[in-house]
Amino acid sequence: MSPETSVLPSLPVISLAADASGLPAALADSFGRFGFAMVSDHGIDAELIARAWDLTARFFALPDTEKRRWHTPGQGGARGYTPFGTEIAKGAEVFDLRV
């Protein structure tokens, strides 16, 4: 499946309205190269997306002590909140420096 549009030349936006036969390969390629996929034509209401962004911004604006209530050590960042300087990629020797 060829992406219909792209945000960056190397970061495809995959349409869920396109021919579904190539969808699994397109998603697998995106997850394999970037660790995520950007999709369009998903049918999710724009107001719901806006609300999710608003709630995300409000959460990350909280004091660190409040956000850490949602941290579960040993989860590897799969659930909840992962504080700065606690996540390390498999096989890495230093912690990620993401914010």
Residues 95, 30: Cα–Cα separation, whole Å: 24
pLDDT in tens, the chain (99 residues): 444 555 556 788 999 998 889 999 999 999 988 888 999 999 999 999 999 999 999 999 999 999 989 888 776 666 778 887 777 777 877 777 665
Residues 75, 87: Cα–Cα separation, whole Å: 10
Could you tell me the CA-to-CA distances from 57 to 52, 60, 72, 73 in Å, in that order?
9, 5, 21, 23
Classify 38 as helix, strand or coil: strand
